Structure 1
Amino acid sequence: MRRNLREELRSNRETHSFAVYFEKFLSQPDRWAYCYRLNAGINTNMALENLHRNLKHIYLKGKKVKRLDKGIHALMRFLNFRMRDRLIAIYRGKLTKKLSVLRVRHNESVPLSEKLVVTVSTVLWNVMSCSNTEFYSVSKNLDSCSCGLRCKDCDHCIHAFSCTCADSSILWNMCKHVHLVCRVIKQMESTQSSRSNSGAAAIIPCAEAAALVQQLSSPAQTKNTVEASDLEDRKASLVAKLSEMVQSVKSNAGLEALERHIAPLQFIINSAEKASVSFPEVPAIVQEPSNKKVLPQRKFFSTKKTHVAKKSKPSNPPRSERDAIAFSMVTGLPQDHTS
């Protein structure tokens, strides 16, 4: 069964890339457990579920949409707002969870001493743990990166270094050992090289912002320009083909035959310009009301049992107290005189 599935995935052009990934993942069973996926950077933030929930309950107002134009309109509105949010995040900055953890780890690395770092090579360092005698290896992966997960004090991003500790290899954070190594490197490097690296990395967000502004300002104009240029290219190609046909005619009979076939082309072109577009017949579907609500999205809930405090009940009085109460009710004397 597995062999048939692999052959079927490889035979299809659309699933060929997935077949290569599937075979690679299938041959490494030790990577199936999350604890062994070192430096994978996999998290479970359910970003795709969040996108579907916003699209269905905010832009489609929680209703079932059967019309294609309404669905496309809602999707275009969603993309427009997402591009605007990205543009605001570029200029103002956005404090994500990874970035907040990165700043916390940098503050934790400040009291650490540079003597804990042992330089092995230009791309490898050993950092001694503060709690025990264990050493962690910090290796350099990239020289420069233009991502937003960047420590301004260390002047490096989260992808530049990797460490063998659990915080970096499993949780994919820029751990305190990496921050300590960055501080040692920054002390060794010159001020001129650090400025040139920071200036080169700041060009990419400006280019991205300019592209977003252009996309948001004139999307229709860009589409019309592309369609017009494509039309002109096809017309030039057709003129070249017709010119070759005319030049290839060597007799009057051939030229007359060509004129007879070209004469009705103008009427065909005019009718094609005025003709309406015909769509295939849509199959019958189940009729539903236009205001029917969508099915609620499945939510993830905790299976941990919560402790319910038991209600305290008043305890029964002892026999001596019951006798005293009964005596006072019969004789009318207070309970202190029962003795």
Structure 2
Amino acid sequence: MGYFVDQLINGLTLGSVYGLIAIGYTMVYGIIGMINFAHGEVFMIGAFISLIVLLLLAQLGVAAVPLAILVTLVLTAVFTALWGFVVERIAYRPLRGSFRLAPLISAIGMSIFLQNLVQLLQGARVKPLPPVLTGRIPLGSIGDHQLSVAVVQVVIVVVTVVLMAGFSLVVSRTALGRAQRACEQDRRMAELVGVNVDRTISLTFVFGAALAAVAGLLYTIYYGSIDFFIGFFAGLKAFTAAVLGGIGSLPGAMLGGLLIGLIEALWSAYSDIQYKDVAVFAILVLILLFRPTGLLGRQEVEKV
């Protein structure tokens, strides 16, 4: 039982990272109806920026870990958000009025470009990071098994909950959120009543990239190593999480991320780890067979 609880904690930690990335997919799809397949590479860029900033702060002698993480979080979010803005301006905005496959092909091309750009600039080798957050918090015991949770796992879950709650308030209570919901329902009508559609879409990409940057930082300090290819697998899992939870639903994206994290952790613990991805996609197919809109998705109504 104690081992099972440990795997639940590992799954929730991994699922939190997937959920943060999945929110970026579901926000973009909710507004413009397209999948930003370059979003995984934006997450990867955020991970590299966080690694560079952390190493620079260490060289400058910043010894306070909370301060170093806070500075890294801010700088990573800012610079990665700029990448998100650039992706929207280059890969999406010029093709917004084109046929539906054009932005999709452009996003795939941007994904390949960013992946190879980072490979050329940073090299193909794995980049290690010394442990930043160490220590464990005891939770008691179950039989002879001592339960504990790593400090970094607590930080990941807490940051994810805070960001999810904060962004939900932004979408439901602010002018930007109202503009986003208006664009989601009908972009043309939103523009007619005074909503700046271009700015709203750009800010959506910026916010999604900032959340991916936070996920990149959390991933870096949790695993302690990154490479130029992490965006492909993490982006694929996050996209799967968005579809599983109901693409277009923010709570659904987070729920899907948590479920995939738990499936991976439990399957790796109790079965052959080589087939954990097979288990994830098999469960996705089963759920979509009975609920095509995902767990929290809603049926789209065709506008005529």
TM-score in same-fold range (> 0.5): no
Larger Rg: 1
TM-score by length of structure 2 reads 0.23
TM-score by length of structure 1 reads 0.21
Which one has more relative contact order, counting CA pairs under 8 Å at least 6 apart? 2
